[in-house]
Amino acid sequence: MGRLSGKFALITGGTSGIGLETAQQFLAEGAEVAITGRSQDSLEAARRQLPREVLAIRNDASVATDQSELAAILSRKWARLDVLYANAADVTHQPMGQWTEAIVDRILATNLKGPLLLIQSLLPILSNPASIILCGSVSAHIGLPQSSVYAASKAGLLSLARTLSGEFIQRGIRVNGLSPGPTTTPALGKLGLAAEELRRLQDDIRNLVPIGRMGQPIELAKAAVFLASDESSYVVGTELLVDGGVGSL
Protein backbone atom coordinates (compact mmCIF):
# COMPACT_ATOMS: atom_id res chain seq x y z
CA MET A 1 0.00 0.00 0.00
CA GLY A 2 1.13 3.52 -0.75
CA ARG A 3 1.66 6.14 1.93
CA LEU A 4 -1.45 8.02 0.71
CA SER A 5 -3.68 5.07 -0.14
CA GLY A 6 -7.35 5.88 0.36
CA LYS A 7 -6.76 9.64 0.63
CA PHE A 8 -8.42 12.29 -1.52
CA ALA A 9 -6.07 15.19 -2.28
CA LEU A 10 -6.44 18.57 -3.97
CA ILE A 11 -3.39 20.36 -5.39
CA THR A 12 -3.91 23.91 -6.59
CA GLY A 13 -1.56 25.12 -9.28
CA GLY A 14 -0.98 21.53 -10.30
CA THR A 15 -0.22 21.90 -13.99
CA SER A 16 3.54 22.45 -13.92
CA GLY A 17 6.63 22.58 -11.73
CA ILE A 18 6.27 21.63 -8.09
CA GLY A 19 2.49 21.18 -8.31
CA LEU A 20 2.63 18.76 -11.23
CA GLU A 21 5.46 16.76 -9.67
CA THR A 22 3.51 16.59 -6.42
CA ALA A 23 0.53 15.22 -8.31
CA GLN A 24 2.84 12.56 -9.75
CA GLN A 25 4.09 11.59 -6.30
CA PHE A 26 0.63 11.65 -4.68
CA LEU A 27 -0.67 9.34 -7.40
CA ALA A 28 2.33 7.03 -6.98
CA GLU A 29 1.54 6.82 -3.26
CA GLY A 30 -2.06 5.77 -3.93
CA ALA A 31 -4.05 9.01 -3.54
CA GLU A 32 -7.02 10.12 -5.59
CA VAL A 33 -5.95 13.52 -6.91
CA ALA A 34 -7.55 16.72 -8.17
CA ILE A 35 -5.47 19.49 -9.71
CA THR A 36 -6.32 23.06 -10.64
CA GLY A 37 -4.95 25.52 -13.16
CA ARG A 38 -6.00 28.76 -14.83
CA SER A 39 -5.71 27.42 -18.39
CA GLN A 40 -7.74 24.56 -19.82
CA ASP A 41 -4.91 23.80 -22.22
CA SER A 42 -2.39 23.47 -19.38
CA LEU A 43 -4.81 21.25 -17.46
CA GLU A 44 -5.16 18.94 -20.45
CA ALA A 45 -1.40 18.87 -20.95
CA ALA A 46 -0.92 17.96 -17.29
CA ARG A 47 -3.48 15.17 -17.51
CA ARG A 48 -1.57 13.66 -20.42
CA GLN A 49 1.63 13.64 -18.37
CA LEU A 50 0.14 11.99 -15.31
CA PRO A 51 0.12 8.19 -15.02
CA ARG A 52 -3.59 7.82 -14.22
CA GLU A 53 -6.81 9.83 -14.21
CA VAL A 54 -7.13 12.95 -12.08
CA LEU A 55 -9.84 15.56 -11.64
CA ALA A 56 -8.62 18.58 -13.60
CA ILE A 57 -10.53 21.72 -12.63
CA ARG A 58 -10.10 25.17 -14.11
CA ASN A 59 -9.62 27.65 -11.27
CA ASP A 60 -8.01 31.04 -10.75
CA ALA A 61 -6.71 31.35 -7.19
CA SER A 62 -7.08 35.14 -7.34
CA VAL A 63 -10.84 35.04 -8.00
CA ALA A 64 -12.92 34.75 -4.84
CA THR A 65 -15.94 33.07 -6.46
CA ASP A 66 -13.72 30.43 -8.06
CA GLN A 67 -12.85 29.13 -4.60
CA SER A 68 -16.43 28.41 -3.55
CA GLU A 69 -17.11 26.91 -6.98
CA LEU A 70 -14.08 24.62 -6.62
CA ALA A 71 -15.34 23.41 -3.25
CA ALA A 72 -18.79 22.78 -4.72
CA ILE A 73 -17.33 20.71 -7.57
CA LEU A 74 -15.28 18.59 -5.17
CA SER A 75 -18.24 18.04 -2.86
CA ARG A 76 -20.20 16.63 -5.80
CA LYS A 77 -17.33 14.35 -6.87
CA TRP A 78 -15.95 13.20 -3.51
CA ALA A 79 -17.50 12.50 -0.12
CA ARG A 80 -14.54 14.05 1.70
CA LEU A 81 -11.18 15.77 1.28
CA ASP A 82 -8.17 14.49 3.21
CA VAL A 83 -5.37 16.68 1.83
CA LEU A 84 -5.22 20.23 0.50
CA TYR A 85 -1.93 21.47 -0.97
CA ALA A 86 -2.39 25.18 -1.70
CA ASN A 87 0.41 25.60 -4.22
CA ALA A 88 -0.94 28.10 -6.77
CA ALA A 89 1.00 31.37 -6.64
CA ASP A 90 1.89 34.58 -8.41
CA VAL A 91 5.69 34.88 -8.33
CA THR A 92 6.04 38.43 -9.70
CA HIS A 93 9.24 40.18 -8.57
CA GLN A 94 10.13 43.78 -9.41
CA PRO A 95 11.69 46.93 -7.89
CA MET A 96 9.67 48.91 -5.38
CA GLY A 97 9.19 51.81 -7.78
CA GLN A 98 7.40 49.64 -10.34
CA TRP A 99 4.60 48.20 -8.21
CA THR A 100 1.08 49.29 -9.07
CA GLU A 101 -2.03 48.83 -6.97
CA ALA A 102 -3.42 46.37 -9.51
CA ILE A 103 -0.33 44.15 -9.39
CA VAL A 104 -0.20 44.25 -5.60
CA ASP A 105 -3.88 43.34 -5.39
CA ARG A 106 -3.39 40.44 -7.83
CA ILE A 107 -0.48 38.96 -5.88
CA LEU A 108 -2.20 39.24 -2.52
CA ALA A 109 -5.42 37.82 -3.95
CA THR A 110 -3.60 34.84 -5.46
CA ASN A 111 -1.14 34.06 -2.71
CA LEU A 112 -3.09 34.90 0.45
CA LYS A 113 -6.77 35.73 0.03
CA GLY A 114 -7.45 32.92 -2.43
CA PRO A 115 -6.06 30.13 -0.21
CA LEU A 116 -7.89 31.53 2.82
CA LEU A 117 -11.24 31.60 1.01
CA LEU A 118 -10.62 28.14 -0.44
CA ILE A 119 -9.98 26.67 3.00
CA GLN A 120 -13.14 28.35 4.27
CA SER A 121 -15.15 26.88 1.39
CA LEU A 122 -13.68 23.38 1.89
CA LEU A 123 -14.38 23.16 5.63
CA PRO A 124 -17.62 21.14 5.22
CA ILE A 125 -15.80 18.30 3.41
CA LEU A 126 -12.43 18.29 5.18
CA SER A 127 -11.90 15.01 7.00
CA ASN A 128 -10.93 14.29 10.56
CA PRO A 129 -7.98 13.84 10.34
CA ALA A 130 -6.94 16.05 7.41
CA SER A 131 -3.77 17.80 6.32
CA ILE A 132 -3.58 21.30 4.82
CA ILE A 133 -0.24 22.26 3.29
CA LEU A 134 0.32 25.93 2.47
CA CYS A 135 3.12 26.68 0.03
CA GLY A 136 5.25 29.40 1.60
CA SER A 137 8.67 30.56 0.48
CA VAL A 138 12.10 31.09 1.96
CA SER A 139 11.66 34.65 0.66
CA ALA A 140 9.54 35.30 3.75
CA HIS A 141 12.71 34.94 5.85
CA ILE A 142 15.32 36.83 3.84
CA GLY A 143 15.65 40.32 2.40
CA LEU A 144 15.75 39.39 -1.27
CA PRO A 145 15.62 42.53 -3.45
CA GLN A 146 12.55 42.91 -5.67
CA SER A 147 10.58 40.30 -3.71
CA SER A 148 8.77 42.73 -1.38
CA VAL A 149 5.12 42.02 -2.22
CA TYR A 150 5.66 38.34 -3.02
CA ALA A 151 7.59 37.77 0.22
CA ALA A 152 4.98 39.64 2.26
CA SER A 153 2.19 37.50 0.79
CA LYS A 154 4.06 34.32 1.66
CA ALA A 155 4.81 35.54 5.19
CA GLY A 156 1.07 36.07 5.61
CA LEU A 157 0.35 32.57 4.35
CA LEU A 158 2.83 31.04 6.79
CA SER A 159 1.20 32.98 9.62
CA LEU A 160 -2.12 31.54 8.48
CA ALA A 161 -0.69 28.04 8.87
CA ARG A 162 -0.08 28.71 12.55
CA THR A 163 -3.31 30.51 13.37
CA LEU A 164 -5.53 28.05 11.53
CA SER A 165 -3.77 25.14 13.23
CA GLY A 166 -4.85 26.59 16.55
CA GLU A 167 -8.38 27.10 15.27
CA PHE A 168 -8.77 23.67 13.65
CA ILE A 169 -6.85 21.47 16.08
CA GLN A 170 -9.98 20.09 17.73
CA ARG A 171 -11.33 19.11 14.31
CA GLY A 172 -8.24 17.01 13.59
CA ILE A 173 -7.11 19.31 10.76
CA ARG A 174 -3.36 19.92 10.70
CA VAL A 175 -2.09 23.01 8.85
CA ASN A 176 1.60 23.36 7.98
CA GLY A 177 3.72 25.49 5.70
CA LEU A 178 6.03 23.99 3.07
CA SER A 179 8.53 26.59 1.93
CA PRO A 180 10.70 26.06 -1.14
CA GLY A 181 14.00 27.74 -1.68
CA PRO A 182 15.18 28.55 -5.21
CA THR A 183 13.79 25.75 -7.35
CA THR A 184 14.11 24.98 -11.04
CA THR A 185 10.56 25.41 -12.36
CA PRO A 186 8.86 27.07 -15.35
CA ALA A 187 7.91 29.96 -13.04
CA LEU A 188 11.27 31.61 -13.69
CA GLY A 189 10.36 31.86 -17.36
CA LYS A 190 7.25 33.87 -16.47
CA LEU A 191 9.21 36.84 -15.15
CA GLY A 192 9.38 38.43 -18.60
CA LEU A 193 13.19 38.51 -18.73
CA ALA A 194 15.35 38.21 -21.83
CA ALA A 195 17.42 35.02 -22.10
CA GLU A 196 20.66 36.65 -20.90
CA GLU A 197 18.91 38.41 -18.02
CA LEU A 198 17.29 35.11 -17.01
CA ARG A 199 20.66 33.35 -17.08
CA ARG A 200 22.20 36.02 -14.85
CA LEU A 201 19.25 35.80 -12.45
CA GLN A 202 19.65 32.02 -12.22
CA ASP A 203 23.36 32.45 -11.49
CA ASP A 204 22.55 35.00 -8.78
CA ILE A 205 19.96 32.68 -7.27
CA ARG A 206 22.36 29.74 -7.21
CA ASN A 207 24.88 31.92 -5.37
CA LEU A 208 22.30 32.42 -2.62
CA VAL A 209 22.07 28.69 -1.90
CA PRO A 210 24.63 27.32 0.57
CA ILE A 211 24.68 23.87 -1.05
CA GLY A 212 25.45 25.49 -4.40
CA ARG A 213 22.52 24.46 -6.55
CA MET A 214 18.84 25.08 -7.09
CA GLY A 215 16.28 22.63 -5.85
CA GLN A 216 14.30 20.22 -8.01
CA PRO A 217 10.50 19.89 -7.95
CA ILE A 218 10.70 16.28 -6.81
CA GLU A 219 12.48 17.38 -3.63
CA LEU A 220 9.50 19.55 -2.70
CA ALA A 221 7.04 16.89 -3.83
CA LYS A 222 8.57 14.28 -1.54
CA ALA A 223 8.27 16.72 1.37
CA ALA A 224 4.62 17.30 0.47
CA VAL A 225 4.02 13.53 0.55
CA PHE A 226 5.38 13.44 4.10
CA LEU A 227 3.16 16.32 5.25
CA ALA A 228 0.12 14.79 3.53
CA SER A 229 0.69 11.35 5.04
CA ASP A 230 -0.04 9.98 8.49
CA GLU A 231 3.73 9.90 9.06
CA SER A 232 3.50 13.61 9.91
CA SER A 233 0.58 13.27 12.33
CA TYR A 234 2.62 14.99 15.08
CA VAL A 235 3.61 17.91 12.82
CA VAL A 236 1.22 20.81 13.39
CA GLY A 237 1.37 24.55 12.79
CA THR A 238 4.97 24.61 11.65
CA GLU A 239 7.00 25.29 8.52
CA LEU A 240 9.15 22.82 6.63
CA LEU A 241 11.94 24.64 4.79
CA VAL A 242 13.20 22.78 1.72
CA ASP A 243 15.63 25.43 0.61
CA GLY A 244 19.21 24.19 0.46
CA GLY A 245 19.99 26.14 3.62
CA VAL A 246 19.05 29.60 2.33
CA GLY A 247 16.87 30.49 5.29
CA SER A 248 19.03 28.88 7.97
CA LEU A 249 22.74 29.23 7.13
Report, as residue numbers or ranges, the catalytic residues. 150
Sheet holding 173-180, edge to edge: 55-58, 32-37, 8-12, 81-86, 126-135, 173-180, 239-242
Spell out the residues 6+ positions from residue 191 whose beta carbon is closer than 8 angstroms to its own: 91, 92, 93, 198, 201
Task: Give how far Cα 237 sits from Cα of 170, 188, 203, 226, 233, Å.
Answer: 13, 29, 34, 15, 11
What's the rounded Cα separation, in Å, for the pair 189 and 35? 21
Residue type, 219: E
Please name which of 199, 187, 198, 225 lies closest in space to residue 89, comparing C-alpha atoms.
187
Residue type, 21: E
Whether 126 and 80 have beta carbons less than 8 Å apart is answered as: yes
H/E stretch holding 152 reads helix 148-168
